[in-house]
Amino acid sequence: MSKTYKNMSKEDSVPRFEKPIDEILSDVRSLLLSCKYGQSVVITKKRTPKSQKQLGNNFGNIVDKILHEANEVRQDGADGLLAYYKDKDIPKGIPATKDLVMKILYRIAPTYNDLAEEITLSKMDTKQAADFQKRAALGMSGYVHIPDPDPNWNQNINQS
């Protein structure tokens, strides 16, 4: 049995749902009381998934700028990036790859879910992804300048 209750209010202070909160709580109470031994109930807050613009910014702006800097401008490939990600299994003298860059970005800008587990971009919502990208760009600012494609991202995220 699955039920979804959507906040219809655009204001953050007081959520307004399709049903009164008392009715929603009554539904949840009934659901909890109907559980048999061993059954569980999961209540989650659904978040907006990443936008295509955010994914484009991550892979078309941030990762590509870092790869260009490592492989073409500095021409030191993975070697120059290893200051951000120390791993004895990464050989020196090879070109930087998207996988290596993403490992570095996750290392310098870790993001956690509600259970305090580290998550990757695939599990992030729009707000987490925007914050991750801002922190990743800042973390790499000593290596390469990554311009923010949308300096008003935090106002835009609140409007969605």
Domain ranges of the chain: 1-46, 52-159
What is the mean predicted confidence (pLDDT) over 87-109? Answer: 87
Q: What is the pLDDT of residue 159?
A: 52
pLDDT(109) > 90: yes
Question: 54 and 126 in contact (C-beta within 8 Å)?
Answer: yes
pLDDT(2) > 70: no
Q: What is the pLDDT of residue 49?
A: 66
Confidence band for 47, pLDDT divided at 50, 70 and 90: low
pTM over 0.95: no
Distance CA 147, CA 71 (A): 19
Distance CA 36, CA 29 (A): 14
Query: Percent of the chain, pLDDT > 70?
Result: 84
3-state class of 147 per DSSP?
A: coil
Distance CA 134, CA 126 (A): 12
What is the mean predicted confidence (pLDDT) over 50-68? Answer: 80
Higher pLDDT, residue 5 or 27: 27
Query: What backbone torsions phi and psi does residue 14 show, to the nearest 5 degrees?
Result: -130, 105
